[in-house]
Amino acid sequence: MFLLSDARLSRILEDTLWHWAGLVVGVIVMIVAVVLIRGWLRDDDDPAIEDQQMLRQIAELQRRGELSGEEYRSIKGRIIGRMDQTETIASYPPSHTEGSRQESGS
């Protein structure tokens, strides 16, 4: 078995230090890229669908008695307010197709 002396081991580590540092930096960059891409793709989710799912879940909790009527109404009011706000933002400015429909209906 070939044993490395301390001096030889130190020399090998010094010679390959930049390679190891580059590898570590490369792995970190890859991890950051994956996290950013996943976050970017998840931002495309429709918040209206998430809000509808949340309404179903809180209705189920209220039905099972885990939420009081007051808690249910409070949470539901906040979700519906957020849904109304999202719909207002989504509908402004009116798209070209909506304007065409209004003009053709007149």
With respect to residue 90, please indicate whether it lies within any of the assigned structural domains: yes
Picking from 79, 94, 17, 5, the residue whose alpha carbon sits closest to that of residue 49 is 79
Total of domains in the chain: 2
CA dihedral 48, 51, 52, 57 (to 10 degrees): 160
Q: What stretches in the chain show pLDDT beneath 70?
A: 1-4, 43-48, 86-106
- The answer to the question of residue 106 being in a domain is no
| Alpha carbon distance 44, 35 (integer Å) | 15
3 by DSSP, 3-state: which?
Answer: coil
pLDDT given for residue 101 in this prediction = 47
Range of the domain at 86: 45-96
Does residue 29 form part of some domain? Answer: yes
Rounded to whole angstroms, how far apart are CA atoms 98 and 10?
Answer: 72
Predicted local confidence at residue 98, as pLDDT = 47
26 and 7 housed in the same domain = yes
pLDDT for res 82: 81
Is 101 a member of any domain?
Answer: no
CA pseudo-torsion sign 26, 29, 33, 39: positive
Examine the domain organization and report whether 4 and 33 are in the same domain.
Answer: yes
Q: What is the DSSP letter of 67?
A: S
